[in-house]
Amino acid sequence: MPTALTEDQIKDLEKKANLIRQIIIIMLYEAGSGHPAGSLGMADIFTALYFQILNHKPDNPNWEDRDKLILSNGHICPVQYAALALSGYFPVKEIKTLRKIDSRLQGHPHRTSLPGIETTSGPLGEGLSQAIGMALASKLNNKSIQVYCLGSDGELEEGNTWEAVMFAGKNKLENLILIIDRNNIQIDGTTENIMPLEPLKDKFQAFNWNVLEMDGNDMNTVIATINQAKEMKSPTVIIAHTVPGKGVNFMENKVEWHGKAPNKEETKKALEELC
């Protein structure tokens, strides 16, 4: 899919995504706990959003015309923290404080702790509803901001998600884009074993949503697909097929890396692969 970007620009973004992956590994090693698989898998999408798509001002996080990015599955916050830090929301060196006492980088994101965090998340299935609230507020204020909600496939098992999907479909919220990290894993195993989600596309279509699918680890495709979604006239979901643990061979597609920090040796190995 073509984008307006040159090959060099795409390459730069890919480098940025790689840097974000390195930061994720360092953060999680320093913290001693956290969630690498989803964080690594979503690095390309976060890079595309923060460095190409979002209309935002890192030096003025509360700028009222900014686009909103809501992370629903808060446990992959390392990828968001890395993207925020590299965007300039806070000093990169602060990433080493993740999950430690008195840090602004809470184990799951907390709105008032850190600039750039639009809302608090962690308990699953609540992000889309909050994104809807922000989309409604934007319409009431006659603003044309875009609201992006990033969530996981596992959290689609929460009933709250479908309450929100119904509501957005009914109210034709064209300023709302949901990006689902379809990486097929969750804590207890694969999604299709734990609680089958397929046919996922049909489910959303039945609730009057537009559905797009993409390779969530291909920068060019990610940017083109999100731009396509922005043009659509009713709420749009992008099912983003990603590889959990992407970029670190021994973590890729491994359920056990959902919520475990790498040790010193694993960190070294991972960074060697990424650098």
Partner 1 sequence: MLNPNLNLNQNLFDKEKIELKSVRDGFGDGLMELGKTNPDVVVLTADLSESTRVEKFAKEYPQRFFECGVAEQNMAAIAAGLGVSGKIAFISSYAVFSPGKNWETIRTTTVYNQANVKIAGHHTGIATGADGVTHQASEDIAITRCWPGIQIFSPCDAVEAQKATIASVQINTPVYLRFSRQKSPIITTEQTPFTSGQIVDFWQTENPQVTIFATGYLLYQALLAAKELEEENIPTIVANVATIKPLDGENILKLTQISQAVVTVEDHQIMGGMGGAIAEFLAQNKPLPMEFIGLQNTFAQSGSPEDLMKKYGLDKDAIKSAVKKVIERKIK
Is the Cβ of residue 115 or residue 122 nearer to partner 1 in the bound state? Answer: 122
Residue type, 129: S
Binding residues for partner 1 (CB under 8 A): 70, 110-112, 118-123, 125-126, 129-138, 140-141, 159-160, 163-164, 166-167
**Least Å from the CB of residue 9 to partner 1:** 32
CA distance 135 to 67: 10
CA distance 136 to 130: 10
Is the Cβ of residue 147 or residue 261 nearer to partner 1 in the bound state? Answer: 147
**Least Å from the CB of residue 107 to partner 1:** 13
Q: Which helix (H) or strand (E) holds 181?
A: strand 176-182
Is the Cβ of residue 82 or residue 117 nearer to partner 1 in the bound state? Answer: 117
Is the Cβ of residue 2 or residue 159 nearer to partner 1 in the bound state? Answer: 159
Q: What is the dihedral of CA 104, 121, 135, 220, to 10 degrees?
A: 80
CA distance 109 to 74: 6
Which of 259, 187, 188 has its CA nearest to residue 34?
Answer: 259
Q: Are 24 and 18 in contact (CB under 8 A)?
A: no
**Least Å from the CB of residue 12 to partner 1:** 33
CA distance 262 to 254: 13
Q: Is 190 exposed, middle or buried (0-12, 13-18, 19+ CB in 10 A)?
A: middle
Is the Cβ of residue 109 or residue 216 nearer to partner 1 in the bound state? Answer: 109
Is the Cβ of residue 119 or residue 217 nearer to partner 1 in the bound state? Answer: 119
CA distance 105 to 128: 22
Rounded to the nearest angstrom, the gap between the alpha carbon of residue 245 and the centroid of all alpha carbons in its chain is: 14
**Least Å from the CB of residue 127 to partner 1:** 8
**Least Å from the CB of residue 250 to partner 1:** 34
Is the Cβ of residue 88 or residue 133 nearer to partner 1 in the bound state? Answer: 133
**Least Å from the CB of residue 129 to partner 1:** 3
**Least Å from the CB of residue 168 to partner 1:** 10
